[in-house]
Amino acid sequence: MYVLIIGLTGGIGSGKSTVATIFSKLNVPIYDSDTRAKTLLNTNQELITKVKDLFGKDIYDQDNHIKREELAKLVFNNATKLQQLNAIVHPAVKEDTKIWQELHKDNKYVIKESAILFETGIYKDMYKNILVIAPLELRIQRVMHRDNATKEQVEARINKQMRDEEKMNLADYIIINDESISLVEQVLTIHRNILSL
């Protein structure tokens, strides 16, 4: 049986993780790309070597754990460095996804959650793609509260992401998370639709 891979994405503060949690309660396996990438940066020896070659050995501490804050500073305002990092991390995540997918091959479908699904072109490898959107002000308030960040800091992060309007043209399903429409009902509708494919 061939398992369908469904992409799930949404801008910062959109509620993508909440939607993933609802799908998981429906027994749909979720591959969290962002979390797995962080794990692989500390466990995948080939990837660790490449990161050290790119950023220097000091980017890892004495326990061979990546210094995430330092790495973030290096790539946040340097598009070239970010591109170089993505070029080595994404293939490792792709291979890891294949292994994970094999473990869940008895499911009708699985979800690959990624914050940069459309930006990286990963969406092209998915059978269908789900986009979670929310009003900008609501997203800003959520992230300010969640990360104890200023409005300016949150806006700077949002401005580095692809606009929802562009993503909407690439998505097969759109979930609106504006706190007025039931998220559970929207997820159930998509779930039933995918099961019927």
- Least confident stretch, 75-84, 139-148, 179-188: 75-84
How far apart (Å, rounded) are the C-alpha atoms in residues 162 and 168?
10
72-87 pLDDT tens trace: 899 987 889 999 999 9
- Structural domains of the chain, with CATH: 1-29+107-197 (3.40.50.300), 42-103 (no CATH)
Q: What is the structure's pLDDT at 76?
A: 80
> 75: buried, middle or exposed (CB in 10 Å: 19+, 13-18, 0-12)?
middle
pLDDT recorded at residue 79: 86
Instruction: Please determine, for residue 189, whether its predicted confidence score (pLDDT) is greater than 90.
Output: yes
User: What confidence score (pLDDT) does residue 1 get?
Assistant: 57
Per-residue DSSP letters for 119-184?
TTTGGGGSSEEEEEE--HHHHHHHHHHHHT--HHHHHHHHHTSPPHHHHHTT-SEEEE-SSSS-HH
Tell me what pLDDT residue 44 has: 96
% of the chain beyond a pLDDT of 70: 99
What φ, ψ does residue 115 adopt, rounded to 5°?
-70, -25
The pLDDT tens digits for 86-133 are 999 999 999 999 999 999 999 999 999 999 999 989 999 999 999 999
At residue 67, does pLDDT exceed 80? yes
Is the pLDDT confidence value at 160 over 90? no
Average pLDDT of the residues of the chain: 95
pLDDT value of position 2 = 77
